[in-house]
Amino acid sequence: MYSENINPQIFIDNRKRFISQMEKNSIAIFNSNDEIPSNGDALYPFKQNTDLYWLTGIKQEDSMLVLFPNHPEKKLQEVLVLVRPNELKEKWDGKRHRASEATALSGIKNIVWLDSIDALLQTMIHLSDNIYLNTNENDRKANLLAVRDYRYAEDMKSRYPLHRYLRSAKIMRDLRAIKSPLEVAVLQQAIDITEKTFRRLLKFVKPGVWENEIEATIYHEFLMNRSAGPAYGSIIAGGDRARTLHYVANNQQCKNGELILMDFGAEYGSYCADLTRTIPVNGKFSKRQKEVYNACLHIHDYAKSLLKPGITVVKYTDIVGDEASKTFQKIGLLSKTDIKNESPENRAYRKYLYHGISHHLGIDVHDLGTKTEPIKQGMVFTVEPGIYIEEENMGVRIENNVWITKNGNIDLMKNIPRKAEEIESLMKK
């Protein structure tokens, strides 16, 4: 939307990475997402298919990418398909990409208009042995709607039934999980905007403020810094509402003596920051609030120290759970008996920490990657333990984003205040 100066080398390199994984004499086809109607003649805001964006940098609707690295004509080895600019439609909906603009964004030289692709695509498919088609295989998503990828797959199979079909998603899952330095540079811009926003909130939050006023301040700061807006629905949860993990009502007043949990992140260049901070509404933690906050911060730092190549997310979560159990004992939430009587399927600490500790992050907030395979250099993860105490009407979560290196990780949010004393000092100012 407002992002600019995204290096097209990101998308050139991404296509090279995908092509290197394709079987010989194969063609791969990627489609943009649907435009989704809401009511009447209105549409929901368009959101590009993130696989297509990762490969092209194109956010426009009715777009396609065709890759055929073994095609005898070099210009047909990469084809970007766009809707033909229409003067009347542009009067209503705004300008669409010209060929030269699309090439500048994507690095793809051969631009073909959508209304002429069918005949060309048929000749290309006849030369191929295998067809890669895309599907959404994010483990968190239930495929309840027949979106364009699935409709397109059915159409292709009916038209070309004797070809061998392969899943692009299997390749994309592994490739997208590894972020290049160029990608992380864009993600860092999203994080820097998020940091600036959080520092503004430390001056803005006070007793009597409404959650929606905080959300509005976040949105304002994002747009003022050329972010496309929130990377996901912001969670602004005061008091006991912080125990609801995906609280998005954001319509209550924040009271003196409460904590407020704020989970938000800017989107920049389609890359997503994901920050959570919990602060005292009145600028001063009570003794108990600080005890719980520091316990959460300890678990956060401990978890971050474990994130390095070789460990799986499943094993990492188990080890963090062990440390959470010890920490919860120290602050009076669990007893030795609670821990002794727990089962592997129902661990005692889960009463107070009932979500995952980390997830992959990138173009999607919950980005592609697996939990069961070893973590690799180049992956980006959130680190976000929480403590949620129903008896005390309190929820605390602290979340940073880290980039996995050869021997550990780099905290991309290291400059964003975390310590209780630092937060109190900044709020006092």
Q: What is the pLDDT of residues 237-249, one digit of tens each?
A: 999 999 999 999 9
Q: How much is the pLDDT for 142? A: 66
Q: Which residues contact 6 (CB under 8 A, 6 or more apart)?
A: 57, 105, 186, 269
Q: Where are the domains of the chain?
A: 9-175, 181-428
Tens of pLDDT along 366-416? 999 988 899 999 999 999 999 999 999 999 999 999 999 999 999 999 999
Q: What is the CATH code for 9-175?
A: 3.40.350.10
Is residue 5 over pLDDT 80?
Answer: no
% of the chain beyond a pLDDT of 70: 98
What pLDDT, on a 0 to 100 scale, did the predictor assign at position 143?
Answer: 66
> Is residue 1 pLDDT above 60, yes or no?
no
DSSP state of 156: H
What pLDDT is stored for residue 371 in this prediction? 86
Output the pTM of the full model.
0.95
Mean pLDDT of 157-176: 97
* Spatial distance between the Cα atoms of 223 and 213, rounded to a whole number of angstroms: 15
| CATH class label, 181-428 | alpha beta
**Angle between helix 420-428 and helix 287-306 axes, rounded to 10 deg:** 120
Query: 29-67 in b/e burial notation, b at 16+ Cβ within 10 A?
Result: bbbbbbeeeeeeeeeeeeebbbbbbbbbbbbbbbbbbbb
Contact 308, 408 (CB under 8 A): yes
Average pLDDT of the residues of the chain: 95
